[in-house]
Amino acid sequence: MRQLEKFKETLAALDDPMEAALYIDKMREAAGYFCKERYPDEVILESDGQFQDISTYGVKRYLESEIDKWEGVE
């Protein structure tokens, strides 16, 4: 199963907009960790090296990844 399928299932089950927003934030955080290890060019870092953001392509790469190969947002 790809991360995208899991993301869609989980998001569809959420009724509260705040829970959905938090889930999306956590998915982007997981995508950042995923890309930091595998696609560092997709990660935007602050001047002190801390994670700031991730590119749209980085999120895409994360969502295309297989869950059994990467443990992301649960």
pLDDT computed for residue 71 by the predictor: 53
Cα dihedral 45, 42, 37, 20 in deg (nearest 10):
90
The CA-based angle 33-34-39, given to 5 degrees, is 110
User: pTM for the complete prediction?
Assistant: 0.81
Q: Mind listing the pLDDT tens digit for each residue in 1-17?
A: 899 999 999 999 999 99
**Sign of torsion over alpha carbons 15, 16, 20, 26:** negative
pLDDT computed for residue 62 by the predictor: 95
Contact 54, 45 (CB under 8 A): no
pLDDT tens for each residue of the chain, 74 residues long:
899 999 999 999 999 999 999 999 999 999 999 998 999 999 998 888 888 899 999 999 999 999 865 555 44
Cα dihedral 13, 4, 38, 28 in deg (nearest 10):
-40
pLDDT computed for residue 74 by the predictor: 46
